[in-house]
Chains A and B, each alone.
Chain A
Amino acid sequence: MSLLEIKHLSVQFETRDSVIKAVNDLDLTIEAGQTLGLVGETGAGKTTTALSILRLIQEPPGRIKGGEILFEGKDLLKVSNEEMRAIRGNEISMIFQDPMTALNPIIRVGEQIAEVIRLHENCSKGEAMEKALYMLETVGIRPERSMDYPHQFSGGMKQRVVIAIALACSPKLLIADEPTTALDVTIQAQVLEMMNKLKQQFNTAMLMITHDLGIVAETCDHVAIMYAGELVEYGTIERIFHNPRHPYTNGLFGAIPSLDKDVDRLRPIPGLMPDPAALPKGCKFQERCEYACDKCRENAQMFTEIEPGHFVRCERAVRGEI
């Protein structure tokens, strides 16, 4: 049994005059202790997927239309609110994109860490605080700073605090939503390294959401490429990096500057993502795809396994035409 198994997840945002289909029929699996990279452009639905797992989508306007999210065999979409709360922060926890705003500005950081420990580990205030100090130390912050407020920390340190909160209860699954986007490059490296280390230490599975393939390469076991609310390619890191099949994945690689490969110039993917409120019929990527044919515009593309553990949502790629 996989640690987390998402089946046919669909999420919509309903506003007064349009329905935005953020996630469409998404399937995803994470094994215990493993790291899955979820890659895509801004607006592809990555964060929505992550929030759906924790059931943190704001309702209204958001709505989970269908599907299952099986965590250790339990459908998270069906459990009661109390059960869900017992899972959040304890078994699944999340690191958010912007550390600047993720911490409550008027509560001391030590207390913010201790809070989650006391909630889930049934211990006294003192014990919780003790563990919070330990966590701070673990993420590389001197424990005496636990009495400080978030605004007294730099961005990287704030993210460390967020990570400390996320890992405080040794969760089985950690969702990291672009944990380094808001940070300086040097800090990014430190934070990533630390996350990797801690992941090993706590034996935590991780869903790493990012648009940075470099980060994926450093941290992940599997990669899922997401576009316009659906997965377009999935496979182990080696497969995807060495044998990308979907034109979008190819485009992503073409858009990264690289030192070791001799590329004349970057080839950014032309055009924009389709309006999620009015998705095209057929392949969602058709408008930007240089290989798009009439069939692509007609038929919805199937997510097909082209080699063991490597799925692609592109008929032409399946047929080997690309």
Chain B
Amino acid sequence: MLRYILKRVLWVIPVMLGVVIIVFTITYLTPGDPVMTILGSGYTPERYAAKAAELGLDKGYFGQLVAYIWNIITRLDFGKSYNSNIPIVQEFAARYPISVSIGLLSCMLIAIIGLPLGILSAVKQYSVLDYSLTTLALIFAAIPSFVLSILGLVIFGVKLGWLPVSGLDSFKSWILPVLANTLPGVAGIMRMTRTTMLEVIRQDYIRTARSKGLKESVILRKHALKNCLIPLVTIFGGMIAHTTAGSIIVENIFNIRGMGTYLYSAILARDYPVINGCVLLIAFVVCVMNLLVDITYAFIDPRIRSQYEKKRVTRKKITTTKAEVA
């Protein structure tokens, strides 16, 4: 088991390396000259050369790539923003916690609301409740989140004045952004839970449990829920990683100083070190979440656990099961 975890942890390294290369290459190939952007109207050939050397942009593709990776590994240095000249790590330290708080709150809400609703609608399949819930979920999943955000803002912020329009100063000001993050997620998780639950409650072992004379509630709790949660762990892991990365749209509209707005202003300003850094950070979190998901998997699903314990680990099997789940 330990060996498996270790192996899995080590696997993060090549993946992250791959991500760095992809992201770096994309921005490297991007037209537009960062030195020009920085110098702007202050352009002279000498200043250009000096700035290019300062930024290490005179080294060619591989030189730059190696330097970039080296700086990240040795000094956790993602470079400085072209736009603000503030070290990117410093901004991460200030912004990521904000996005994470909103993201985790949203994830919790999504789980608290989405899971029970999904289970309810699976258990009461074909009832009016099921139809209303699935229809609502479909509709919420189909509304672009900025429409939802702005509507919420106009109604609760401006018309009714119940909630603050922007910022994160008071308890109340968290409500709208968290909700705007939550609703589409609830819809997704609900649908996913419903499908998985439907599949689980049709399994033979649920019938076995019924034939034992167990109460429906016990069957749900003890036999169905855990089996239903196993595939959902993957989805939740991905969701946590993505939600905590901060939503560009929601953070922009509610003017929250998180990762989303950082990335957004970086995109507008073609601030490539920031774009690279954000993508890397988020990809790293996704990797770590995937790792956690795989380990959790091994802990809650004895079938997978015993595969590793026998040390006949074939990743293929895991990937297939995951692909099927997805």
Contact = CB atoms under 8 A, between A and B. Distances in A.
Interface stretch (A83-91, A206-214, A269-277, A286-294): A83-91
A151 interface: yes
A93 B214 contact: no
Interface in A27-82: 54, 56, 60
Contact of A98 (B204, B301, B306): B204
Contacts of A106: 226-227, 230, 300-303
B211 A101 contact: no
**Which one of A86, A107, A162 has the highest number of Cβ atoms from chain B below 10 Å of its Cβ?**
A107
A241 interface: no
B7 interface: no
Chain A interface size range = 20 to 34
B212 A165 contact: yes
Contacts of B230: 106
B214 A119 contact: yes
B209 A104 contact: yes
Contacts of B212: 88-89, 93, 115-116, 119, 165
B213 A116 contact: yes
B227 A105 contact: yes
B221 interface: no
B306 A149 contact: yes
A163 B291 CA distance: 40
Given A60-B126, A149-B306, A104 B213 contact: no
Given A60-B126, A104-B205, A106-B226, A88 B211 contact: yes
Interface centre among A96, A106, A149 (most CB of B within 10 A): A106
Interface in A105-148: 105-107, 115-116, 119-120
Nearest to B304: A151
Chain B interface size band reads: 20 to 34
B146 to A, nearest CB: 39
A149 B244 CA distance: 36
Given A105-B227, A106-B227, A165-B208, A90 B213 contact: yes
A85 B203 contact: no
B207 interface: yes
A120 B213 contact: yes
Contacts of A54: 210-211
A151 B204 contact: no
A54 B211 CA distance: 7
Nearest to A90: B213
B211 A56 contact: yes
B215 interface: yes
A86 B213 contact: yes
A252 interface: no
B223 interface: yes
A83 to B, nearest CB: 10
B211 A93 contact: yes
Contacts of B301: 105-106
Interface centre among B205, B227, B306 (most CB of A within 10 A): B205
Given A60-B126, A102-B207, A165-B212, 10 more contacts: A56-B211, A84-B213, A89-B212, A89-B213, A94-B211, A101-B204, A105-B302, A107-B223, A116-B212, A149-B306
Interface of A: 54, 56, 60, 84-90, 93-94, 96, 98, 101-107, 115-116, 119-120, 149, 151-152, 162, 165
Interface of B: 126, 203-205, 207-215, 222-223, 226-227, 230, 300-303, 306
11 contacts: A56-B211, A90-B213, A101-B204, A102-B205, A103-B208, A105-B227, A106-B302, A149-B302, A149-B306, A151-B303, A165-B208
